[in-house]
Structure 1
Amino acid sequence: MTLMENASPPAEGTIRTERRGPLLLVGIDRPAKRNGFTPRMFRELAQAYTLLDDDAELRAGVLHALGDHFTAGLDLPSIAPFMQKGEKLWPAGLVEPLDLGSPGYRRRTKPMVVAVQGITFTLGIELMLAADIVVAADDCRFSQLEVKRGIMATGGATLRMAERAGVGNALLHLLTGDEFGAAEALRLNFVQKVVPAGRQLEEAIRIAEAVAAQAPLAVVATRANARKAVEDGPLAAMAEFVTVQQRLSRSEDAAEGVRSFIEKRAARFSGR
C-alpha cells in the first residue's frame, strides 16, 4: 500500500502506508464517511502497526488521516455484529493498535506519533491515547460519545482519560458524551501540541523524525519503562533501571554516543 491522496479508497475504506526514511506513515483513508472504521480498516491498521514493529529499518510511526477529519469512530452497522459476539476485529498474533495487552495479541514497542484534525470521536480518541505523542489541529472536535449510543468505550478511554486527566475530568466527558475542542484536550493532557489546521501532519512528522534520530534501543527501552511506571507503578519501573542500563551501556549505540560526544558530531546510531 502506498499513501496516495489521489487514489480512491474502496467503499469500506483502507489503511495506506508510506515509508519515509526511518518512518512509517499510516494513513486512515475513508474520507467520504468521515473515516468511520470498518472491519477491513481495523485489520489493515493492525497489519500496519505490526509492520512498524517487525521491520528493523523503521524506527517510528506516524498515524494520520486523509480528508478533513481524523475519524468519526466506528462504522456501527458493520462493527455491531462483532461487538455482539465479543469478537476481535484483527487477526490474532498481530500488534494491537489500541495497546490493551489483550491475550493473543502483541503490544507495540516502537514509538507512534499521531496527527489529528477535525472530527476525532470515540475510537479516534482511543487510538491517539494508545499512541505516544499527539499533535492536534486547532479545528479538532473531540467526543467520547458511546453513552449516547447505549454502549461503553472499551478501546481504552475509560483507563487512559482518567490516567491523563484525573477521574473527575474523565467522567465529565465520558458520562456526558459532550463535544470539546483542542484547547480542552491540551488542558487534559490528551494531546501534547496544538497547531494551526493543516500543519498537524507536518509537525507530527517533525517530532517522529527527531525521535527516529535517537538511539533505537534506548528509545524502545525508555518508552517501555515509562509505560511500566504508569501500568505497574514507579517501584516496578525503578526495579529495571540497573539491568536495562547495563544492557544499553554495552551496546554499539552507547559506544557511538560516547564517540560522537568526544568528536563533537551528530551520532550515527545503528540499533545494535
Structure 2
Amino acid sequence: MAQPVPGRRPTDRHPLLATALRLATHGVPVLPLRGKRPLANCPACADSVCGDRPNMKQAGPCACPRPCHGWAAASTDTAVIASPPWLTAWRQADAVAWHPAGAGMTVVDLDSPDAVAWARTTLPPTRTVPTTRGEHWIYRGTMPSVCAVRPGVDIKSTAAYTRWRGPGAGTTLPLPDAIRALASKEETTPAPRGAGGLFTRARWDRTVATGCRHTERYVRTGLDRGLAKIRTHRESGAGSQAYGVARFLAGLHSSCPGPCGLDAIGHEIVTAAVSVGVPEAYAHRAVTRGLALPGAS
C-alpha cells in the first residue's frame, strides 16, 4: 500500500484545486466543473429539497458542504474549497469555473469569429481571454445574465458561471452602456404567435402544424439537423446555437398561414440546449427570441 509522501499538499495531487485557491485569494468565487457543467447535486440537495442556497433566486437555507447548486455554490472561502467534500469533487472535475458577478465582473462570451469581429467594431476594448471558439471580454460591473443577445454573443454575470481560461490580457474597463442596452432589447423581444415563454409540447409533429405549408419530412429533417448541431457544442456556444436554430426555423415558417407548432419546435430546441449544459431559463430566452420573427406562428 502506498504511503503518503511527507509534506505533500492536496494541491500537488489536484492542480485544478491550486488554480481555484489562487483565484479565491483574489476574490474570485470558484467551483469545480466537469465538461461544461458543474457537478450534480448530492442526494440531499436534489430537486431543491434542501431549500436551495441563500444566494439563489429563490433564497433558501441550504448549507451543504458539497459544491451543490452550480454557480450558487461558488466560493472564495479557501477552507471550503479545499475541504474533504470539495476534494472529492475536484477529483471528478476537469476544469475550474467562476461566478463573474461574485467577482464584480461581467463576461461577454463571443462564440464565433463573426461575434469577435462585431465586438471589436462595437465595444470598448477591455481584458480579453481567448477561448476555443472565440473570446471572453471581461468588464468591471455586474448585470443580469442573458443568453444570445445577438448571434454568438452571451452575457454572463449574475446567476451564472463560466469556465476559467486564464487571466487574459488588457485593462478591465467599466461595463459599457452598449452591453446593458443589448440585454434590455433582448428582454423586451415579444414571443411569436403560437410560441409562449414556456414550451409545453414534447415533440413536434404534423398534428400541431395544421396550417404549415411544408411537409412533415421537410420540417423534421431541418429540426433534427439543428438539434444535432446544438448537441455538438458541449463546451460552449450551445445557447447561441439554439438561438440560431430557432431563428432559422422560424424563418422557414414566416410565410405560412399557421399554426406551425413553433411551441413544440421550441421545446425540442430548449431540451437539446439543456442537455449540453445551457441553463434552462437561458435556453428558453434564447429560443423565444430566435422564434420571434414577424409572421412566424
TM-score when normalising by structure 2: 0.24
Greater gyration radius: 2
Higher RCO, 1 vs 2 (CA within 8 Å, ≥6 residues apart): 2
* Larger relative helix fraction: 1
TM-score when normalising by structure 1: 0.25
